[in-house]
């Protein structure tokens, strides 16, 4: 067995033991007779830290999506009660649809030398689950910005926007101020809890930015991307909003670990790792220096050496930006001599630091590059990054008390990624479809074999050319290593980038409040479960 397979198996076994303990935790607190609203609130004796919290008002409380989701969650509280959560950890697999979970389950099991089909991911062992409906205010198929904000703020909004309500006008950026929302991370900081965000994408990218930003345009990650007309209207870029948020809420993030240095550095400054690259900011601001100047305990790190040198078991506040853009795919990180922390390592570091706060914490962990690999039509990297997220989930389960920490694992949206073709049991998930009993490769009516995994659209399309010159013809994959990390699965419709899909995604949960996940829910109800279980908002 390879060292990587040994690590995966150890993570799986460790998470299984922790989950057994979680499932054996105390029973739900029963509602009082009549099931009146709020009647199931825990007593002070149940968790004195949580009972001292006073739910904070939120500016989006009158939004129709907020009200509907709050009512839906309240009805489940009336029926089931809710246990108090001292801490909340939200794991987001960006683009991790059901087919991705299934394929990753098989891939992880096969990597560990066990039966992939009957194998179980750490996330799949959480005792509560639901389906989450991912449509947005204006789209059947969502992008990552409003779906992340649905989970962090409790409302549905328009594609391309972050941290605003349906009232935001994407043609008028100043409406981000009049339609702004309050994120659970803002509420937590204001209440004295510790907060953190971990992502393998840029810190200013859609999902991590949903913890702190309010903008009508998700692509305005630094000032060079903001038009002058928007600047004249008082609209600011997401990296600048990061600094403003940290100054406005409590003492700011205790931990923020991700990629995206370029958005925080001036264009006159060379990147510390890639000297031929520079920062992206045209306003001359060094956001990393502003971060350090914002508090006596603040440090900034930009590489593996700096990360390893941080004592996360101290009162340090850490901003870590490990690449100019997104962090490396897990498959590439493992081969890189420079090295950067894995998502599991960043998760362990964040929990170590946040756990020092006696008032509790709220943490987001995003595996952002699952999404990017799918857009590239590259299943191997998507599955490796899903496995890396699962190892981070296992790490969190091993480090936390299941009686006081609500852990949620979900996705923002799905992808047009398929598993098909009647392959035999234990067939390599990245391989060609093999029929049972030595019957050989399955073949299409064109006589050519095909892979189990594929895409509805994307850069791997079998169609080439434009207009009358377009031709659709599949390659003969008989002698192609389809398990190679760079292999691009076949697709139908030719697109430069594969698209998201609109079906529901999974929600897995454990710990106090997890009992509120079941059936089919609206995605923005996830915020309300976190807010009610932690008693941070109503």
Q: Report the catalytic residues.
A: 144
CA of 265: how far to CAs of 226, 313, 437, 467, in Å?
16, 28, 59, 44
- Structural tokens at position 519: 């059936």
* Cα–Cα dist 341/188, whole Å: 26
- The residues, any chain, with a CB within 8 Å of residue 171's CB and separated by 6 or more, are none
Any bridge partners for residue 100, and if so which?
A: none
User: Is 141 in contact with 147 (CB distance < 8 Å)?
Assistant: no
DSSP 449: B
Residue (of 305, 309, 389) closest to 340 by Cα position? 305
Nearest 5°: phi and psi at 501? -120, 165
Which stretches does DSSP call E strand in 395-498? 405-411, 414-415, 417-419, 453-458, 463-464, 471-472, 491-494
What kind and span of H or E run contains 507?
A: strand 505-510
Any bridge partners for residue 332, and if so which?
A: none
User: Is 102 in contact with 382 (CB distance < 8 Å)?
Assistant: no
CA of 206: how far to CAs of 94, 105, 157, 159, 229, in Å?
10, 26, 13, 11, 22
């Amino acid at each position: 067995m390879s060292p990587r397979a040994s690590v995966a198996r150890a993570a799986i076994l460790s998470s299984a033991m922790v989950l057994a303990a979680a499932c054996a935790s105390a029973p739900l607190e029963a509602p009082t007779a009549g099931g009146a609203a709020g009647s199931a609130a825990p007593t002070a004796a149940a968790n004195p830290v949580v009972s001292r919290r006073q739910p904070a008002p939120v500016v989006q409380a009158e939004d129709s999506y907020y009200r509907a989701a709050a009512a839906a969650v309240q009805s489940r509280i009336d029926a089931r009660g809710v246990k108090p959560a001292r801490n909340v950890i939200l794991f987001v697999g960006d683009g991790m649809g059901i087919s991705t979970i299934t394929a990753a389950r098989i891939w992880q099991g096969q990597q560990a030398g066990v039966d992939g089909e009957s194998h179980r991911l750490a996330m799949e062992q959480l005792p509560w689950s639901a389906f989450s409906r991912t449509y947005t205010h204006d789209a059947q198929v969502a992008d990552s910005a409003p779906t992340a904000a649905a989970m962090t703020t409790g409302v549905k909004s328009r594609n391309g926007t972050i941290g605003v309500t349906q009232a935001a006008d994407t043609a008028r950026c100043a409406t981000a101020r009049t339609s702004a929302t309050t994120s659970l991370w803002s509420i937590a900081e204001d209440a004295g809890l510790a907060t953190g965000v971990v992502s393998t994408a840029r810190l200013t990218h859609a999902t991590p930015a949903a913890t702190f930003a309010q903008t009508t345009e998700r692509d305005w990650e630094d000032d060079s991307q903001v038009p002058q007309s928007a600047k004249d209207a008082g609209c600011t870029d997401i990296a600048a909003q990061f600094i403003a948020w940290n100054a406005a809420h409590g003492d700011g993030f205790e931990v923020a670990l991700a990629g995206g240095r370029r958005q925080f550095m001036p264009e006159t400054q060379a990147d510390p790792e890639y000297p031929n690259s520079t920062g992206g900011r045209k306003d001359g601001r060094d956001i990393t220096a502003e971060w350090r100047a914002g508090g006596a305990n603040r440090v900034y790190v930009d590489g593996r050496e700096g990360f390893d040198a941080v004592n996360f078991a101290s009162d340090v506040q850490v901003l870590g930006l490990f690449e100019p853009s997104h962090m490396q795919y897990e498959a590439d990180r493992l081969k890189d001599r420079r090295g950067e922390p894995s998502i599991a390592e960043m998760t362990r570091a964040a929990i170590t630091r946040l756990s020092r706060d006696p008032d509790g914490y709220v943490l987001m962990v995003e595996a952002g590059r699952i999404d990017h690999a799918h857009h590239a039509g590259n299943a191997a990297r998507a599955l490796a990054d899903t496995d890396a997220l699962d190892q981070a989930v296992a790490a969190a389960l091993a480090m936390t008390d299941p009686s006081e920490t609500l852990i949620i694992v979900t996705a923002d949206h799905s992808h047009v990624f398929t598993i098909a073709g009647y392959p035999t049991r234990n067939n390599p998930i990245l391989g060609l479809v093999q029929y049972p009993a030595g019957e050989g490769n399955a073949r299409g009516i064109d006589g050519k074999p095909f892979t189990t995994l594929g895409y509805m659209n994307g850069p791997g399309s079998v169609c080439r050319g434009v207009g009358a010159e377009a031709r659709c013809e599949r390659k003969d994959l008989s002698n192609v290593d389809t398990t190679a990390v760079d292999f691009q699965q076949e697709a139908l419709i030719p697109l430069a980038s594969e698209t998201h899909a609109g079906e529901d995604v999974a929600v897995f949960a454990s710990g106090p409040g997890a009992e509120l996940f079941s059936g089919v829910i609206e995605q923005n109800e996830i915020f309300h479960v976190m807010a009610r279980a932690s008693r941070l908002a109503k």
